[in-house]
Chains A and B, each alone.
Chain A
Amino acid sequence: MQLDDLYRRVIMDHYKNPRNRGKFEDGAVTVDLNNPTCGDKISLQLKVEDGIVKDCKYTGDGCSISMSSASMMTEAVKGKTVEEAQDLALRFSSLMQGEDVQFDDYEDIEALSGVNKFPARIKCATLAWNALRKGINEEEIH
């Protein structure tokens, strides 16, 4: 078990320099999710127009894994269609199960592949992605 498998430079970069952190004034779907076992929190906002994720932002409080994963996720889904975003979420969940998945569209995400060797931390990495899935579902219902 190598710590550096978990804390790669890319992850620490997203943790210390988060992308898309913030809040929209209006016009966005908001999803609030907690990780009740550890207290991590995320509030994800999505602006979806014509089936495309035009923009997204998040605020939250959590460890380096959960917050860097949120930063990467928001970078990756911006400009994607809802279907592409769902596909990303699916691929991310495969990555967490230890499968060899490519993220040619946003390679930073592959830095999180080491998380699957730390079972206790998988739920940290998936928090933002669960919020994404929930947000897309809500968007589809409306």
Chain B
Amino acid sequence: MVYLDSAATSQKPRVVIEALQHYYEFDNANVHRGVHTLGSRATDAYEGAREKVAKFIHAKSTKEIIFTRGTTTALNMVAASYARSVCKEGDEIVLTPMEHHSNLIPWQQVAKATGATLKYVTLQPDGTVTLPEVEKVVNSNTKVVSMAYVSNVMGVVNPVKEIAAIAHRHGAVMVVDGAQSTPHMKVDVQDLDCDFYAFSGHKMCGPTGIGVLYGKKALLESMEPVEFGGEMIDEVGLYDSNWKELPWKFEGGTPIIAGAVGLGAAIDFLEEIGMNQIEEHESKLAMYAMDRLSEISGLKLYGPRDRKVGLVTFNLGEVHPHDVATVLDASGIAIRAGHHCCQPLMRWLEASSTARASFYLYNTEQDVDRLISALIQTKEYFGDAT
């Protein structure tokens, strides 16, 4: 089969599956509490994964790396803990219409709870974000700017480093949704100078159920935990308690130990290949796909022509994306069809849904060729609907 749905979740290399199995077979115990050897081994494995993550995204310290269930949980933590305490009536939160629901609804909830207002950066006709448009909406009322580094629909790479600088000039924090960037390109949170950065393990060869919230230490220190319970406390009384130091104060309960170990193995795997190589491979593949797709008459491509990240979104004439995906599936080709958790963006694109093929390091030009010939067959199958 040809798997072209890595933007939804990637396939897992054997080393990651083996790391999970090894952890459960040889190191399984709870972390940070037992005095026994196995407990120390589990703790070392878990904290070792944190070190790998910190190095991978170039964080200053492991204190800035919080393990979460995924990007959604990480973004919700920033919204629930940071934004709810900082925002008040009259304040503004700046987003773009291309955000995934997970970087949209948490902010809607903050706005409803605090009286803050959501503001949207106007997109260019090709779906890109430009700095002058950002300047138009960011002002002294802005408390948070939150944006995807890479759009999960259009594959555009947003200039988040420059946008972070604009946010900072107005005293706002910059939150970056890194779900679609971290698996595909070298990320340096210090260079971006973002305040928060969220991503998921399962889109980058790691297991499901593990993700990361990076936050600048001073900000994380000022924030209240979102979940309370075991593991995250320093001292507990009958009526009051206080919290452990970073990062553990945000990791209440038994953490996602095996998931973190698996993510660590995924990072080793990706780094051995090299993030620059992965980016180059994908960008070539995406450009090849864009070229080949534009040869199909009646096929509409969304987003800008130039691609750095390996995903392409399209509609095949009037054939509904579901029907496209089903016919492709019958030829062993897996693509995504639907609104991609981006209903506002679909409205902006004036499409009720779209088809998306997304590539990763294991895809080849032959995969693209198979996609193209299956699309041509689909077009023939549906006849005049195209």
Give A contacts to B, CB under 8 Å.
1-3, 6-7, 12, 15-16, 37-41, 61-66, 118, 120-121, 124
How far apart are the CA atoms of A81 and B320 in the complex, in Å? 34
User: Scoring B residues 314 to 339 as 1 if CB is less than 8 Å from chain A, else 0, what string do you get?
Assistant: 00000011110011001000000111
Is the Cβ of B320 less than 8 Å from the Cβ of A7? no
- B-side contacts of A61, CB under 8 Å: 352
8 Å CB contact of B338 from A12, A37, A121: A37
How far apart are the CA atoms of A39 and B326 in the complex, in Å? 16
Number of A-B contacts (CB under 8 A): 49
Is the Cβ of A38 less than 8 Å from the Cβ of B338? yes
- A-side contacts of B339, CB under 8 Å: 38-39
Residues of B in contact with A, size category: 10 to 19
Give B contacts to A, CB under 8 Å.
320-323, 326-327, 330, 337-339, 343, 346, 352-353, 381-382, 384-385
Is the Cβ of B330 less than 8 Å from the Cβ of A3? yes
What would 11 A/B residue contacts be, using CB atoms closer than 8 Å?
A: A3-B326, A6-B326, A37-B338, A38-B353, A39-B346, A39-B353, A40-B322, A63-B320, A65-B322, A120-B326, A121-B322
Is the Cβ of B330 less than 8 Å from the Cβ of A62? no
In the A-B complex, the 8 residue pairs with the closest CB atoms: A63-B322, A63-B320, A39-B339, A39-B353, A38-B338, A61-B352, A3-B330, A63-B323
Does more than half of chain B's interface fall in helix, strand or loop, or is it mixed?
helix
Most buried by A among B322, B330, B339, B382: B322
Q: How far is the CB of A118 from chain B (nearest CB, A)?
A: 6
How far apart are the CA atoms of A12 and B323 in the complex, in Å? 11
Q: How far is the CB of A116 from chain B (nearest CB, A)?
A: 14
How far apart are the CA atoms of A3 and B326 in the complex, in Å? 8
Is the Cβ of A39 less than 8 Å from the Cβ of B338? yes
- A-side contacts of B346, CB under 8 Å: 39
Known: A64-B322, A124-B322. 14 other contacts (CB 8 A): A2-B330, A3-B330, A7-B381, A39-B346, A61-B352, A62-B352, A63-B322, A63-B323, A64-B320, A64-B323, A64-B382, A65-B322, A66-B322, A120-B326
- A-side contacts of B323, CB under 8 Å: 7, 63-65
- B-side contacts of A66, CB under 8 Å: 322
